Structure 1
């Protein structure tokens, strides 16, 4: 089967990228920007909250090894989908919880994943399903951030290890050793 692509936004892309980069069947994870009006936005512009973009990741995966549904279940288990335009101390529309399906099948699966996630959360899920839009890769220094410098960044050390613990607890069989 040919590789497929999933695009999701769950707050800081450094934190989301760290969750997906070592999953079986994931070929690549790229941090970037999606869902806004400004062409070729910079990190500083997106962080200002004025472009409408979300910090997001684009996951290229082999659907014979890991399904889109599995990727979405991991998404909902490793971020807070019940806070509007916020993940922890990151506040603004650029940190929204959103899924950007690439096909009608992905859109249907996104709706099903929200229903599954809602059964596990007491508060309402606020994750949006947004139209596929132009993708803008983040600057090179944002790519593979956790692997390169995350352990030296106090913010990353506060946020990423708990996400990875949730991943190991709920999806250990999906992690590439």
Structure 2
């Protein structure tokens, strides 16, 4: 007499396969998270992630003796998240001048205002807030601390931008805010 409460060998195998597929799907989606393994530093203000690969362009505050270098407020570099995870490299001349550099707009005693080379329409203010340096800007028409930008390129054309998404924290509510700017 067969026990109806028993799961057949085939049934156990199907459950095992489904379980493996489920955990593989979770691991794959987690590995694709753009915020995973950003190798943050205590000086990191924000980073740029791109749709073309997982590498990041990082913008750290440039301090001298604990104080903002108002003439050169940012230290910009690459963080590899693919071939050599965690390895950092400086920007090339072309990358600084055409894409990922910045321009100093104004400076004060302990703040600097800059624009990004590839996105000059948005001013970024590097300043101290609650004893920590942050990058202030407007996101979705709200004053906010910038955390990251995501650049979505057009399919088949890595030099053509479809949109840029800014992400940060609203200074008035403390809530996450984002804004998508189409190019």
Q: TM-score interval w.r.t. the shorter chain?
A: under 0.3
Q: TM-score, normalised by structure 1?
A: 0.28
Q: With CA pairs under 8 Å and 6+ residues apart, which has the higher RCO, 1 or 2?
A: 1
Q: TM-score, normalised by structure 2?
A: 0.27
Report the structure, 1 or 2, having the larger strand content: 2
